[in-house]
Amino acid sequence: MATAASEVSTEGMLYEVSDHIATITFNRPEERNTISGPMLSELTEKLLEADEDGDVRAIVITGTGRFFCAGLDLNAGTASLGGGRKTGKSGLDLRNTPPTVLHSLDTPTLCALNGSAAGYGMDLALGCDIRIMADGAKLAAAFTARGIVPESGGTWILPRLLGWSKAAELIFTGRTLLADECQELGLVSKVVPADEVGVAARNLALEIAANAPMAVQASKRMMRMGMDETFNDHVHHVYLQLLPLFASEDFKEGMASFMEKRKAEFKGR
């Protein structure tokens, strides 16, 4: 059964929840959806709100207009490292910045790249689990051309997505990639016409939301942990994760629906 939509609109950002999907939309098309300082804090808040909402099973991040996000709005006084809070010791506290929070979420995240992404916007897109890209969009890794590094996760994410050589080539040259190049390299799952990006991302999110949410979230958690574990340690942790799932109502529903040849109705319990 479809759930009613609830939408919250603030300056620069829209937030809506419907059908178990939370959608965060950058809404500054006249500024190419660049992110201001207040928007960084709001993005963190909305990501955490969606992750903590028991009704939300997938999060879609997208933008309005021709750009997904052209980076930080430096004219608005945005912090140079993406909204980190200044401290008296090391200078910046990055624990609650959007890239860090995005990486730690258990809820699956999808980026609907309605348009081009550059700098911080590119790192944000890469931080999502899945990316759907408009055929006319581009990813611009122009960090070194601006005298900086990929400050919001790119140096960690790209070598894992592309391997060292390709990541080094992209970062060192500051190259801009077309949509078909992004798909060929595996940076995006699918390239679709621009007017179909939102629908394609939502359909995929609905497919994810139809599965047992605790099992999906546990799978994402295990994938994230597995990036830094040995195989033997990982198998042990996966087994421990299975124990509470075996005791869940969703596991019983999953088995019953399979035996009865019907669609499962998962409750997240």
Take residue 21 and report the two structure tokens written for it: 């999907």
pLDDT at 1: 47
- pLDDT tens, 193-237? 999 999 999 999 999 999 999 999 999 999 999 988 999 999 999
Pairing of strands 13-18, 21-26: antiparallel
Which long-range contacts (C-beta less than 8 Å, at least 24 apart) are formed by 73-77?
73/31, 73/34, 73/35, 73/36, 73/37, 73/39, 76/34, 76/36, 76/37, 77/36, 77/37
CATH number attached to the domain at 6-209? 3.90.226.10
Q: Where are the domains of the chain?
A: 6-209, 213-259
Q: Give the E-state strand segments of the chain in sequence order.
A: 6-10, 13-18, 21-26, 58-63, 67-69, 109-113, 116-118, 130-134, 138-140, 176-178, 190-192
Take residue 101 and report the two structure tokens written for it: 């929070």
- pLDDT tens, 68-125? 999 888 775 554 444 555 555 555 566 778 989 999 999 999 999 999 999 899 999 9
Distance CA 58, CA 56 (A): 6
